[in-house]
Amino acid sequence: MLVVVALGEETKRFSQLHAQIAGISKKMLTQVLRELERNSLDKRVVYLVIPPMVEYSLTPLGLTLRELIYALRDWSERYIEEVERRRTEYDQQDKTLLQEQIMALVQQWTEAS
């Protein structure tokens, strides 16, 4: 998905994509690009020069999918803060419950001794 976003409107080279997508390995990038190509979502053009040059671009089909991915990205950007806030609450709630359970155990122990 990030790959489709990274491709954007333009044709890009392998190393450009690799630099643009933080933390992806060459292996994974290759794998994803090949799979997209297989599904005809992107196009791969190899120039027979030295050093090698390979360009990737979205197909018309890929472009239609990109719109949806943009919508997802916008949703994330809009709600990411709320989700993270809620998640923190949820996790702390768990922590509170755990504390209560521990306190209960301590109490039982003190009563028993």
* Chain positions contacting a second copy, by CB under 8 A: 37-41, 61, 64-65, 68, 71-72, 75, 79, 82-83, 86-87, 90-91
Single out the residue of 36, 40, 45, 51 nearest to residue 13, CA to CA: 45
The residue behind tokens 């954007």 is 8
Which residues are within 8 A (CB) of 57 and not within 5 positions of it... i.e. 6 or more apart? 7, 10, 11, 12, 42, 43, 45
Q: Which listed option, DNA, a second copy, none, makes contact with residue 95 (CB within 5 to 8 Å by class)? A: none
Provide the mask over 30-69, with x wherever binding to DNA is found by CB under 7 A and - wherever it is not: xx-xx---------x-x---xxxxx---------------
Decide: is 23 part of the binding site for DNA (CB under 7 A).
yes
Q: Which listed option, a second copy, DNA, none, makes contact with residue 43 (CB within 5 to 8 Å by class)? A: none
